[in-house]
Structure formats: structure tokens, C-alpha cells
């Protein structure tokens, strides 16, 4: 099992003092630093925008902040002796890097352009000499931790760093609605690897301009039969919010049929079911966030689990909840499974007043948007659920910043 190893002794006392003093100004300027950073990096390395970063996410300003803000978040925990190591943040980044084939040689590229951007925004008078050296030490410690963790993940997968994409043939396509399609794929040249319930894969599609764009999708099938199943939601453009249509998702829904070949990554992801436990489980989701929960439910049902399982889900409407039948079938196949659903205008209520009995000692797995997750976590905290028993996955690239 890959482990996170953060050394808080990596900074000198003087460097730690500098980070504490400058962290507020760096954090306050993330909104200006981020576009400067990406502009610099993509000008110097256009191949990263074409083949590694999701272009749709780059057009969404709030989501662009993820990388720079994660460095600032890491710095804050590094200089606070009472703060626990940000293991969830780092594990989530590491797994995303595994699913996109990030390698050690790419870290210096990010380092240079991010820090050049910080220096330009804060001015050289502020961000040079001892100040930049202190922040260099933060970044290099974060790089060391992530590279070591990712090498462990690659070793566990039995592949060389970066060698994560495989040719796969589409063996099934099920259109659940106009917006949701479930694909099943099998390896072309070799059997696809197994996975742990809750994990996801990256799918790479070649766009009209030749760019190889990536998007992650949760696995909804049962491990062990050589077929990986994942659900894709069509994403339309939102002109009011200035959000682009989903390139990869829409191409899959529009163009990919049974018999076609696609590229997928090895499974990755840290929101995974503890398959060794026999303790109770609560699966909490909203909208398309049901996909990893369906994967967990299908696994539990297929293995005749005796665990107490509670599935709770919120959605826009009956029609929008296209995975309801599969979710219910899995719950009904469980010896101790129950479920509850909320449809708008009602919202999920797990508070004391909501009438939902939460199994004592349960592990909670949550997937949905930021607002939904924060709403659910607040309710669980009010009911005395310890934070260590709450595990989550989100939709946006900056999902790891929720605890910042």
C-alpha cells in the first residue's frame, strides 16, 4: 500500500518564518498568479495543454486555481507544528497524476513557471532571495512526497512511471438517457487490470485539432470479469456562466459505438471501499456522483456482503436519476441494505431532524459537488460522526482544497 511521507523538518527555522509571513500575500493573490502561471507554462509547453491538462477546466477560472492553491495549502500545514500532514490532499493529487501519466520530469516545469508567475505578481522586490528560496524548499518537499508516492503507485500497478494508457475495445454501450451513457470496454492487446470499488479511469480522446484530451470517469461495474464499465454524462455549454461544453464526454456520447477502440488509463483513485472490513457503510451521493457508489454497491451485492449498507442519494428529478434502478437492484440484493432518495425541491437531510437512522460506527463515502459535500459534512458533524470516518470525492479539479 502506497504511503505518504511528509517531513516537516524539511525547512529551516528561518525558512518556516518566511513562509508564515508571506503565506497571506501569496494566498490573497492566487487569482492573479494562476492565469499568469498557466499562460507562461502553456506558451513554453503547448503539448501540456493539448495532451495532459483538460482544456475545458482551464477555461473555468475558479478551477484553474487548484494547483497553485494546493502548494499554498501544503505550505500552511508544513509550517504549523500542530497541523496533521495533508495526506488526503496529497493522495488525491497523486492518484490523479497516476491516471494522467504524470512523471517526475514534469515537476520542474511546473516549478519554474509557477514561481516565475508568483515573482511577477508579487514583484521581484518581494519574491526574490531568501523568500523565493523558502518557497522553493516548500515546493521541493511537496515534489519529493508526491514523486515518492506516485512511484509506489506505479510499482503497485506493475508499470513504468507514465506508462498508464491502454488500448481498449468498446464491448457495450447503454444509453440510459439523452445525457447519460454507460460504456463497457475490454483490453485490445491484453486484459485490463482489476480495480477497487470507487476508483476511476482516464479516457483519452483525439480531438479534431489533434489534441489528446483526458477526462476521468468512475467505474460502475464489478471487478474481475475483464470488462471496465463507466458512465459518461454529456456536458453542454453554459453561456451565462461562461462554461464550455465537455469535449471528451460529448465526443464519447456522440461518436463512440460498440466495436470502436478507445484509450483508457489504469484505474486510480483514493475514494475506495474497504473491502476487508465487515463494518457498516453509508454511501452518499448527488447527481452523477452516484457512479462510484453504484460501483461499490454492485461489488457488495455480487459478493453477498452481510454488511449493513445504507444508500442515500439526491437528484434533480426522477428522470435525471438514471442510475436509480441499478442502485435499487443492488440494495435489494443485499442482506442488510436500505436506501433513501430526495428529489428537488427537497434536499438531502441527514440531520437529527431528517429521520434517517445512521448505522453506528459506519464509514461514510460521499460524492457530489462542493456545496453538497459541505452541506452533508456539516450535518454529519452535528450528529457526532468523526471526520476520520468521512471519505469524499468531488467533481472539480480543486476538490482537494475543501479542507484548506
Q: Which pLDDT band, with edges at 50, 70 and 90, does 111 fall under?
A: very high
Residue 67: predicted pLDDT: 82
pLDDT of 142 reads 96
Q: Which helix (H) or strand (E) holds 325?
A: helix 324-333
pLDDT for residue 100 is more than 50: yes
pLDDT at 240: 60
- Rounded CA separation 141/150 (Å): 14
At 298, list the grid cell.
454492485
State the catalytic residue, choosing from 119, 141, 150, 393: 150
pLDDT of residue 395: 47
pLDDT digits (tens, 9 = 90+) for 300-313: 999 999 999 999 99
List, as one string, the DSSP characters of 339-399.
EEEEETTS----SGGGTPPPPTT-EEEEEE-HHHHHHHHHHHHHTT--GGGEEEEESSTTG
Pairwise CA distance, residues 130 & 11, whole Å:
12
Region for 324 from its dihedrals, namely left if φ exceeds 0, alpha if ψ lies in -120 to 50, beta otherwise? alpha
Q: Which residue has the cell 489528446?
A: 212
Residue 235: what pLDDT?
Answer: 84
Taking phi over 0 as left and psi of -120 to 50 as alpha, with beta for the rest, 101 belongs to left
More confident residue, 394 or 101: 101
Give alpha helix (H) positions in 203-359.
247-255, 290-302, 324-333
pLDDT band at 1, cuts 50/70/90?
confident
Please give the model's pTM, rounded to 2 decimal places.
0.91
397 has a pLDDT exceeding 70: no
**Is 107 annotated as catalytic?**
yes
Q: How far apart are CA 204 and CA 201, in angstroms?
A: 10
Residue predicted with more confidence, 170 or 67? 170
Domains of the chain with bracketed CATH = 13-157 (1.10.490.10), 165-268 (2.40.30.10), 281-394 (3.40.50.80)
Is 40's pLDDT higher than 80?
A: yes
Instruction: Encode pLDDT of 187-210 as tens digits.
Output: 998 899 899 999 999 999 999 999
Q: What is the pLDDT of residues 316-358, one digit of tens each?
A: 999 999 999 999 999 999 999 999 999 999 999 999 998 999 9
What integer pLDDT is reported at residue 244 of this predicted model?
A: 75
Measure the CA–CA gap between 208 and 355, rounded to whole angstroms: 52
Q: What is the separation of C-alpha 181 from the centre of its chain, rounded to a whole number of angstroms? A: 20
The residue from 107, 154, 217, 299 that is catalytic is 107
Average pLDDT of the residues in 260-283? 95
Scanning the structure block, which residue is given the C-alpha cell 453506528?
360
Q: What's the mean pLDDT when you consider all of the chain?
A: 91
Dist CA 242 CA 326 (whole Å): 34
Query: Which residue has cell 464519447?
Result: 252
The candidate with the shortest Cα–Cα distance to 365, out of 378, 349, 376, is 376
Give the model's pLDDT for residue 210.
Answer: 94
For residue range 48-87, list pLDDT tens digits in order. 999 998 888 777 655 567 788 889 999 999 999 888 888 8
Q: Is the pLDDT of residue 389 over 80?
A: yes
- pLDDT higher than 80, residue 396: no
pLDDT bracket for residue 394 (50, 70, 90): low
Q: What is the pLDDT of residue 236?
A: 80
Q: What percent of the chain has pLDDT over 90?
A: 78
Position 155 pLDDT exceeds 90: yes
pLDDT at 331: 98
Tell me the C-alpha distance between 50 and 399, whole Å: 22
Could you confirm whether 169 is annotated as catalytic?
no
Amino acid at each position: 500500500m502506497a504511503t505518504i511521507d511528509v517531513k516537516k523538518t524539511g525547512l529551516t527555522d528561518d525558512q518556516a518564518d518566511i513562509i508564515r509571513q508571506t503565506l497571506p500575500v501569496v494566498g490573497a493573490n492566487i487569482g492573479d498568479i494562476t492565469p499568469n502561471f498557466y499562460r507562461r507554462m502553456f506558451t513554453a509547453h503547448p503539448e501540456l495543454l493539448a495532451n495532459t491538462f483538460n482544456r475545458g477546466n482551464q477555461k473555468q477560472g475558479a478551477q484553474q486555481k487548484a494547483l497553485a492553491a494546493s502548494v499554498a495549502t501544503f505550505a500552511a500545514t508544513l509550517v504549523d507544528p500542530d497541523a496533521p500532514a495533508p495526506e488526503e490532499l496529497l493522495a488525491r493529487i497523486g492518484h490523479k497524476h497516476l491516471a494522467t501519466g504524470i512523471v517526475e520530469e514534469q515537476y520542474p516545469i511546473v516549478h519554474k513557471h509557477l514561481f516565475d508567475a508568483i515573482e511577477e505578481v508579487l514583484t521581484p522586490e518581494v519574491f526574490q532571495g531568501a523568500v523565493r528560496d523558502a518557497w522553493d524548499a516548500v515546493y521541493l518537499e511537496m515534489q519529493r512526497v508526491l514523486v515518492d508516492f506516485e512511484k509506489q503507485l506505479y510499482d503497485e500497478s506493475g508499470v513504468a512511471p507514465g506508462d498508464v494508457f491502454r488500448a481498449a475495445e468498446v464491448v457495450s454501450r447503454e444509453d440510459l438517457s439523452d445525457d447519460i451513457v454507460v460504456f463497457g470496454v475490454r483490453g485490445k492487446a491484453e486484459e485490463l487490470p482489476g480495480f477497487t470499488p470507487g476508483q476511476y479511469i482516464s479516457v483519452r480522446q483525439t480531438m479534431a485539432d489533434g489534441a489528446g484530451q483526458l477526462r476521468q470517469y468512475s467505474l460502475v461495474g464489478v471487478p474481475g470479469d475483464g470488462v471496465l464499465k463507466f458512465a459518461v454524462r454529456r456536458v453542454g455549454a453554459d453561456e451565462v456562466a461562461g462554461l464550455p461544453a465537455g469535449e471528451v464526454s460529448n465526443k464519447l456520447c456522440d461518436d463512440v459505438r460498440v466495436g470502436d477502440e478507445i484509450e483508457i488509463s489504469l484505474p486510480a483513485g483514493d475514494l475506495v471501499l474497504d473491502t476487508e472490513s465487515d463494518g457498516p457503510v453509508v454511501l452518499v451521493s448527488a447527481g452523477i456522483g452516484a457512479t462510484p457508489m453504484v460501483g461499490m454497491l454492485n461489488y457488495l451485492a455480487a459478493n453477498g456482503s452481510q454488511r449493513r449498507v445504507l444508500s442515500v442519494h439526491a437528484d434533480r428529478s426522477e428522470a435525471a436519476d438514471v442510475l436509480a434502478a441499478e442502485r435499487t437492484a443492488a440494495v435489494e440484493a443485499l442482506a442488510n441494505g436500505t436506501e433513501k432518495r430526495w428529489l428537488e425541491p427537497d434536499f438531502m437531510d441527514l440531520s437529527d431532524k431528517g429521520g434517517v437512522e445512521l448505522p453506528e460506527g459506519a464509514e461514510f463515502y460521499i460524492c457530489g459537488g462542493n456545496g453538497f459535500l459541505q452541506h452533508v459534512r456539516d450535518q454529519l458533524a452535528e450528529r457526532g460522526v468523526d471526520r476520520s470516518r468521512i471519505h469524499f470525492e468531488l467533481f472539480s479539479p480543486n476538490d482537494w482544497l475543501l479542507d484548506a
